[in-house]
């Protein structure tokens, strides 16, 4: 490969030193054109059999219609080689009424998802205040991931959006796990909600969450190290977003959420609720009668 590249460069140098006939005379080819070795685009998509490359730009300070008209006017003044042409995005044909219907439909889906998460949080924590607290804390890791995407310039990437959804799912799982462990310990104890009880329950639930977070972070490191190479575009855009949101979610759910449960949670456990089945209960050995069933002074 190295020998072929050297031969190609030598051929380009000879081509630059060659002669070109123009206007009846001769001139060096290097004086008429720049001959160099350059990498081709890593991703060339095809429409039918015609390859094309997308050229995108951010729009600031003007509306989309005027920018589209300016681009079209500029392209009309460019002369392309044979079989090459430029095609701009077609204007949206959706009516304003259809766009409004789509917006309301999307809003209804979001509202339904928020209500479902709130009901699940209430069932997990047993308190509406804690459920609202969990719901209010969920956007924090997502906001950290979004800020990371804006910092890296990948906020318009579909991979970054998928990474934000993954961060939201991890945050919900960790929050429900920690709050459920605190509730189970509180019901099993039956007394007031003390800092020691919260710390013990949160420590037991934080162990698996920390292990899962570390494993996920280690799995994302190779995509960050590989960089933006061919085949790694989507993972490279999603990995920083997921990693930043994962760190924020783990810190939030293992440190802040237990303290919030101690502050906003019920002072005493409800007496009319049974202890969840996954809380270990004392068991009597078979064949050994309890102390209440044995007489204190047996009569011979």
Angle at 131 between CA 126 and CA 133, to 5 degrees: 135
- For residue 208, the enclosing domain spans 96-264
17 located within any domain: no
CA distance 171 to 197: 23
118 located within any domain: yes
276 located within any domain: no
DSSP string, 1-12: -HHHHHHHHHHH
CATH number of the domain residue 221 falls in: 1.20.1640.10
pLDDT at position 148 = 92
Angle at 131 between CA 137 and CA 199, to 5 degrees: 75
The tokens of 216 are what? 């996920």
One digit per residue, pLDDT tens: the chain, 300 residues? 444 545 655 655 655 555 545 555 666 666 766 766 665 555 566 666 667 777 777 778 888 778 888 888 888 888 888 877 887 766 655 556 666 777 788 889 889 989 999 998 888 877 788 888 888 889 999 999 999 999 888 888 888 889 999 999 999 989 888 888 888 888 887 777 788 888 888 888 888 888 988 999 999 999 988 887 878 888 888 999 999 999 999 999 888 888 888 887 666 655 544 544 454 444 444 554 544 444 455 454
Write the CB contacts of 174 (distance below 8 Å, at least 6 apart in sequence): 209, 249, 250, 253, 254
191 located within any domain: yes
Counted domains in the chain: 1
pLDDT at position 98 = 65
Strands (E), the chain: 19-22, 25-28, 45-47, 50-52
CA end-to-end span of the chain, whole Å?
102
The pTM of the full predicted model, rounded to 2 decimals, is 0.58
136 located within any domain: yes
172 located within any domain: yes
275 located within any domain: no
Cα 262 vs. chain centroid, distance in angstroms?
Answer: 30
107 located within any domain: yes
pLDDT at position 291 = 46
């Amino acid at each position: 490969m190295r020998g072929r590249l050297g031969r190609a460069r030598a051929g380009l140098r000879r081509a630059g030193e060659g002669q070109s006939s123009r206007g009846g005379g001769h001139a060096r080819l290097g004086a008429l054109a720049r001959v160099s070795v350059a990498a081709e685009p890593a991703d060339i998509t095809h429409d039918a059999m015609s390859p094309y490359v997308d050229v995108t730009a951010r729009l600031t300070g003007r509306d989309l219609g005027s920018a589209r008209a300016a681009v079209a006017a500029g392209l009309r003044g460019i002369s392309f080689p044979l079989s090459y042409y430029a095609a701009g995005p077609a204007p949206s044909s959706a009516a304003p009424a259809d766009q409004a219907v789509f917006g309301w439909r999307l809003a209804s889906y979001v509202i339904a998802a928020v209500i479902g998460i709130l009901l699940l949080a209430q069932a997990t924590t047993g308190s509406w205040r804690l459920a609202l607290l969990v719901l209010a804390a969920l956007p924090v890791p997502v906001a950290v991931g979004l800020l990371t995407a804006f910092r890296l310039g990948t906020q318009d990437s579909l991979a970054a959006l998928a990474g934000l959804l993954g961060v939201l799912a991890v945050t919900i799982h960790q929050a429900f796990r920690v709050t459920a462990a605190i509730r189970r310990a509180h019901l099993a104890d039956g007394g007031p909600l003390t800092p020691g009880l919260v710390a013990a329950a949160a420590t037991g639930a934080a162990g698996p969450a920390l292990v899962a977070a570390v494993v996920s972070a280690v799995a994302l490191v190779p995509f960050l190290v590989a960089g933006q190479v061919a085949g790694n575009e989507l993972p490279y855009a999603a990995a920083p977003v997921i990693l930043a949101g994962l760190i924020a979610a783990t810190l939030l759910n293992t440190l802040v959420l237990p303290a919030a449960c101690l502050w906003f949670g019920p002072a005493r456990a409800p007496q009319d609720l049974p202890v969840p089945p996954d809380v270990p209960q004392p068991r009597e050995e078979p064949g050994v009668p309890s102390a209440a069933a044995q007489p204190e002074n047996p009569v011979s």
